[in-house]
Chains A and B, each alone.
Chain A
Amino acid sequence: MTPHTESSRDHHRGERLVAESTGAPTPVVQTSRGRLSARALGGGTEPDPRFTLANERTFLAWIRTALALLAGGIAVEAFTADVFGPELRKTVAILLLVLSLAIAGGACFRWLNVERAMRRKEPLPLPLLVPVLALGGALISAVFVVFVLIRGS
């Protein structure tokens, strides 16, 4: 069995090649971080690497959604002083930041649950983040609508 050619830079970072003499087809790079990951992911077998990468991209898409909400909260607080009163501005900014926090946290758990399900060849869990985002967005919109109606009357 021939170990794959990994650059010497990785060895300097403390990584080492683990080649099982009993017959794994290809050796894998095992790191201390890798061992931590393996413990968090639990048992099962490694899924198709394309699925792992797809799960990673989905996680990143949720993180960008959280960042967009965070940017929205910052922008409402920073740019709307002339348009909205301090109470509404603060309320909407807080709602956006809380929603951003929920989405960022939920994205991590979603990624972990999907990865675990794929390793155990189980059906993927339903995304709880979707209704959270929809309800949060609807709530923030409702706050704006109520404000405009009250202000208009």
Chain B
Amino acid sequence: MPVVHGYLPADPGLQPERTNLAWGRTTLAIGVVSLLFLRWIPDYGGFPLVLIGFSLLTAGGMNLHQRRRYRHSDLGIRQEQIQADVVVVMIIGGAVGLLAILGLYAILFLPVQ
């Protein structure tokens, strides 16, 4: 009998894997935003460093969450039950919203150097 290498996913549609990749893409997008804030340093001084720090903190938190979430998603598919995580969704949405608000604050109220 031939030996088959690989693993048997819980879902043939690979839903946990696709969701994990979506989290990864979003983490990368936040990383790109944090790099763009570097270009604000000549104009707005040290304030963009706060934005960069906050972006990287959010990206790091998302990266940690997605690893744990992937394990839970796979288990959840096997059990036919996944608990929707309201708190994490609100934190991510709030973090992106806060970045936009802080960006608006910089443009509207900080003097250009």
Contacts and interface: CB of A to CB of B under 8 A. Distances in A.
B57 interface: no
A75 interface: yes
A36 interface: yes
Contact of A53 (B15, B37, B43): B15
B50 interface: no
Contacts of B26: 60, 63-64, 67
B100 A49 contact: no
B67 to A, nearest CB: 11
Q: Is the interface of B mostly helix, strand, loop or mixed?
A: helix
Nearest to A86: B112
Given A60-B22, A78-B36, A28 B73 contact: no
Contacts, number: 147
| A: interface residue count bin | 35 or more
Contacts of B16: 53
Interface of A: 4, 6-7, 26, 28-29, 33-34, 36-38, 40-41, 46, 48-50, 52-57, 59-61, 63-64, 66-68, 70-71, 73-75, 77-79, 90, 93-94, 97-98, 100-101, 104-105, 107-108, 111-112, 115
Interface of B: 11, 13, 15-16, 18-19, 22-23, 25-26, 29-30, 32-33, 36-37, 39-40, 43, 71-73, 75-77, 79-87, 89-90, 92-94, 96-97, 99-101, 103-104, 107-108
